[in-house]
Amino acid sequence: MSAAAPEPAAVWREGWLDGVRRCPSPNFGPRPLAARITLAVVHSISLPPGVFGGDEVERLFTNRLDWDAHPYFDGIRGLQVSAHFFVRRDGERVQFVSCDERAWHAGRSAWQGREECNDFSIGIELEGLEGGHFETPQYAALAGLLQAIVQRYPLDAVAGHEHIAPGRKLDPGPGFDWYRLRRLFVAPSVSVAVS
């Protein structure tokens, strides 16, 4: 598999990427002054676990999830979280938070000696089950999204939630093909984690 075709110049408006469906979340805050956005964090999520294609993830990130709609939701009742982006199984990209703001995706975390990864990272959720496989359109969409991000932000690394919160988080897990992402996303100044 060869690298993805070069993305056209990305158009950003106050941290929102043109051409990506917007679904604004209230779950965000300001980044620390002079924060440099140097990390992209790849996550996986499906609600309920293993169920794809519904609107539950969007509802969770916008505080509109019906907690009584499924028994699993009772265990996450009241959770207020978000990510900057969500990539569906078919490759559709959804943005919840301006990348200029701090989304609530990483929790307790550290990367290369820096704690609080939410302060300096962009969170990207892939629709999938922790440890499961991901679809070809998702890899292409993720690589294109990362290409757009490096056009605007001083990204120097891409890592999984499992890399920034080891022992606490396992996503995206062994089903995610980091080597495949490295072949598709070619940016010499950006390191891509390998599990």
Catalytic residue numbers, as ranges: 125
In a domain, 156, yes or no: yes
Does residue 99 lie in a domain region? yes
* pLDDT for 144: 98
Residue type, 194: V
Pick from 31, 27, 42, 1: nearest CA to 157: 42
Q: Model's pTM, two decimal places?
A: 0.95
Q: Does residue 56 lie in a domain region?
A: yes
Overall number of domains in the chain: 1
Read off the CATH number of the domain in which 154 is found.
Answer: 3.40.80.10
Mean pLDDT, consecutive 10-residue stretches, the chain (195 aa), reads 60 97 98 96 98 98 98 97 98 98 98 97 97 97 98 97 96 97 94 84
Q: Which residues contact 63 (CB under 8 A, 6 or more apart)?
A: 25, 26, 27, 80
Give domain status of residue 120, yes or no: yes
Residue 7 lies in a domain: no
For the sheet with 93-95, list strands across it. Answer: 21-22, 93-95, 85-87, 121-127, 39-45, 157-160, 191-192
Domain that holds residue 81: 12-192
